[in-house]
């Protein structure tokens, strides 16, 4: 089994194939998993705030997202997984637009299958990827920060590589990028310290949202694995792309 890590969506090749696990641990993919934990029926991923706002208004969907970490004006919710965990969304549909995570999910749609992964669902996401792979390569796509390397996503990618490698140690072939991600978790084994040391976490401090980082650092507390719909597929926790405009 071929395991790779893309430290930025920019590293995705146009002809990419196989399974992608998209990671934006602080905070989009953690929020996505939490929304489904709280009963959400389906989630649309928007490319821009304007597109998300117009799409949600057209269909009467919940509008969630952030701009520079904060909830945009007129949005029903921001992008706080902790805040989502205190709400119920049973049977509802939401639209999400974030600075990095939703962009990465849309970019990764060139893969055959796209899953949303984070620390909360790390083991479950890897198990689902292995179930679907059937010999296809698995790529962990870091959402990064404005296209640049993000330590929190790379560290989380290392945890996912660890789970994938542990599940099939004799069959795993790791790229140099996957080995580099593994080296990060070997250098720092504590999720809370790793995430809090990241620039992504520091950006939330002025917004008084560091509790979201603690929430995101919890490992394997969810078995939900959101999946991008593809060619009529009907995953249990569906992610869908809004039209580009």
Q: What is the per-residue pLDDT for 121? A: 98
- Of the candidates 46, 24, 6, 25, the residue with the CA atom closest to the CA atom of residue 239: 46
Question: What value, to the nearest 5°, has the Cα angle with vertex 176 and ends 175 and 181?
Answer: 100
User: Distance between alpha carbon 51 and the CA centroid of its chain, in Å?
Assistant: 20
Domains and CATH numbers, the chain: 2-241 (3.90.1560.10)
User: Distance between alpha carbon 229 and the CA centroid of its chain, in Å?
Assistant: 15
Rounded Cα distance, 195 and 202, in Å: 9
Query: End-to-end alpha-carbon separation of the chain, Å?
Result: 38
H-type alpha helices, 70-119: 81-85, 101-107
In terms of phi and psi (left: phi > 0; alpha: psi -120 to 50; beta: otherwise), the region of 65 is left
Q: What is the per-residue pLDDT for 75? A: 98
pTM: 0.97
Ordered per-residue pLDDT tens for the chain, 245 residues: 899 999 999 999 877 789 999 999 999 999 999 999 999 999 999 999 999 999 999 999 999 999 999 999 999 999 999 999 999 999 999 999 999 999 999 999 999 999 999 999 999 999 999 999 998 999 999 999 999 999 999 999 999 999 999 998 677 899 999 999 999 999 999 999 999 999 999 999 999 999 999 999 999 999 999 999 987 789 999 999 999 75
């Amino acid at each position: 089994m071929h395991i790779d890590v893309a430290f930025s969506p920019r590293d995705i090749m146009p002809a990419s194939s196989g399974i992608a696990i998209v990671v934006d641990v602080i905070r989009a993919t953690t929020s996505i998993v939490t929304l489904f934990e709280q009963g959400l029926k389906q989630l649309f991923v928007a490319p821009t705030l304007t597109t998300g706002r117009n799409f949600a208004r057209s269909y009467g969907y919940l509008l969630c997202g952030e701009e520079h970490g904060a909830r945009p004006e007129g949005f029903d919710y921001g992008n706080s997984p902790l805040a989502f965990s205190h709400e119920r969304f049973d049977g509802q549909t939401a639209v999400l637009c974030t600075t990095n995570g939703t962009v990465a999910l849309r970019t990764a749609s060139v893969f055959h299958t796209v899953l949303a992964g984070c620390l909360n669902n790390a083991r479950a996401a890897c198990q689902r990827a292995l179930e679907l792979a059937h010999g296809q390569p698995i790529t962990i796509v870091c959402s990064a920060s404005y296209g640049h390397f993000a330590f929190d996503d790379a560290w989380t990618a290392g945890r996912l590589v660890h789970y994938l490698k542990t599940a099939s140690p004799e069959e795993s072939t790791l790229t140099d990028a996957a080995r580099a991600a593994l080296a990060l978790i070997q250098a720092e084994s504590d999720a809370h310290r790793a995430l809090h040391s990241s620039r992504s976490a520091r950006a939330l401090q002025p917004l008084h949202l560091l509790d979201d980082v603690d929430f995101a650092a919890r490992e394997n507390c969810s078995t939900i694995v959101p999946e991008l719909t593809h060619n009529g597929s009907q995953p249990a926790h569906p992610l869908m792309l809004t039209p580009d405009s």
